[in-house]
A and B are shown apart, each in its own frame.
Chain A
Amino acid sequence: MKFTLEGSGIGLLKGLWLTFRHLFRPRLTTQYPDAKLTLSKRFRGNELVWDRDRCTGCATCAKSCPQGNIEIITSKGDENNYVVEKFELDSGRCMFCGLCVESCPYSALFLSMEYERANYRRGELVLVRDRLRLNPNSRRSAYAHPELEPSLPRQDLLIEGSKGSKPK
């Protein structure tokens, strides 16, 4: 009979040794409210960013929206152009497919990197003009806009260990 340790309970010891080594490995959890992961550059966050200066009011986005969420009202301007009077988007019904962003011929619409948008009322989910406006604080996603990618930070991968924070 060949001498082998297999099947004599050695597997139990191997298992115990494996879990014991886990005690000294870096934790994979990110302490969420204290530390946050950097998201993918092409993240489709649940908010949109609208560049008013580039928007011509063509309403291509409104036509491409499968849900019909985007409401856009325009009037005639002085230089034979459209003036956008109302630009509203009900993000409560939005499925973040990104078709509006893809279809915009003037690159005036972007998906954002925001994701903490839980609300108590549905009405608060309707994004009106000022909320959508491009400003220094809005974080635009590079989704369908590869030209933004170099300016965005690299995504955090869970395999690289947990981010920063020690537990309290």
Chain B
Amino acid sequence: MPLWPFDNYWAHFAVFSIIIIIFVLLMVMVFIWFERRAFGPFQMRWGPNRSSPWGALQPVADAVKVLLKEDIIPAAADKWVHFLAPIVVFIPALLIFAVIPFHNGYGLIPDLNIGLLYIVAISALSVIGVFMAGWGSGNKFSLIGGMRVIAQMVSYEVPLVLSLIGVVLVAGSLSINEIVVAQDIPFFVLMPLGFLIFLIAAMAEINRGPFDLLEADSELVAGFHTEYSGMKFAMFYLAEYGHALAMSAVAATLFFGGWRGPGDEFIGVLWFLLKVMFIFFLLIWMRTTFPRLRVDQLTGFGWKFLFPLSLMNLFIVAGEVILWGEIPWWAIFINFGAAVTLIYLWSRLFKFGGGRVEVHA
């Protein structure tokens, strides 16, 4: 691990901590802007374009607006839990970046030898914060939202981890930087099924897109942050995009080869950012396309569809690793065919939501 900028441990940690905090806060602003601008054309309208050229200052305007609002603590709230929840939700989004390499070996601790385990452990933490918010608000909608996030978490953590084990098997290491180094072929090409499962499970994990049941506006007012306003709401808003950023970074690193790309000795950071933006664009695309799932559909999809498929994906990848050791490039075709076949066959075995019900009068 190169110690940068000075050959000193403490300087390295201090500088990179600050870099990560600034990076996350800046990228969250970029993400908020990017998502709102991208939603526009997807829905045949312009996004925000009033605040400055291309609406670039819209996140700033949002932030100023939300910070000037009154901070309300409901009378029925558990005060301390209510206060701590936004912080507990936001911190894991920052912590994940400790092991993400921004460039070859450059990061806070990119060659932590249990890096992937660390990511899995940390990314599960924010759920506690969401449940704290749900519980501490003393509001039935918040509590239902908090309960839902636990159910969602339990259902989707399993396929998420199982799809990541495939990555570990192929790369032969838990260290994030070594996983990136191992990606001569990006892993999303090498194991498309694993990537698909990871992407879906990650979307559920960060409570975005069709899986945003915990704040389902049409059912739960605003779910876990119904009783939040002002600064604390801003923290939740920040955390939502912070987690999207963290998961995009993890997906870009583990499946798209992180900083790798042509000329990565010099512009590795740019490759990394480009891939993060691409993954986030995929997330926006799916969020704007798919309608929200019902709770029973959510858990059903997780356990009956993603879980068995992730086990089979792990089986295939493990078999290939045992058979060939280093997976040859032509295994891409086998894996792609296997992914399509498995998804098709499994959709025959398990009908999502029981199919359409025709009522005959």
Q: Which residues of A contact B (CB under 8 A)?
A: 1, 5, 7-9, 12, 15-16, 18-20, 22-23, 25-29, 31, 167-168
Contacts and interface: CB of A to CB of B under 8 A. Distances in A.
A23 B40 CA distance: 8
Given A15-B290, A16-B285, A19-B289, A29 B45 contact: yes
A68 to B, nearest CB: 42
A23 B281 CA distance: 13
B47 to A, nearest CB: 8
22 contacts: A1-B348, A5-B344, A7-B352, A8-B343, A8-B344, A12-B289, A12-B290, A15-B290, A16-B285, A16-B286, A19-B285, A20-B285, A23-B41, A25-B44, A26-B44, A27-B40, A27-B41, A28-B44, A29-B46, A31-B49, A167-B49, A168-B49
Interface string B87-113: 000000000000000000000000000
A16 B289 CA distance: 6
Interface of B: 40-46, 49-50, 53-55, 285-286, 288-290, 343-344, 347-348, 351-352, 355
A31 B42 contact: no
A133 to B, nearest CB: 36
A19 B288 contact: yes
Nearest to B347: A8
A9 B286 CA distance: 13
Given A23-B41, A168-B54, A15 B289 contact: yes
Contacts of A23: 41-42
Given A7-B347, A8-B347, A15-B290, A28 B45 contact: yes
Most buried by A among B40, B289, B344, B348: B289
Contacts of B290: 12, 15
Contact of B42 (A9, A19, A26): A19
B278 to A, nearest CB: 14
A19 to B, nearest CB: 5
A18 B343 CA distance: 22
Contacts of B289: 12, 15-16, 18-19
Contacts of A25: 44
A83 B346 CA distance: 88
A167 B54 CA distance: 7
B164 to A, nearest CB: 22
Contacts of B344: 5, 8
A27 B289 CA distance: 17
Given A5-B344, A8-B347, 20 more contacts: A7-B355, A12-B289, A12-B290, A16-B285, A16-B286, A20-B285, A22-B42, A23-B41, A25-B44, A27-B41, A27-B44, A27-B45, A27-B46, A29-B44, A29-B45, A167-B54, A167-B55, A168-B50, A168-B53, A168-B54
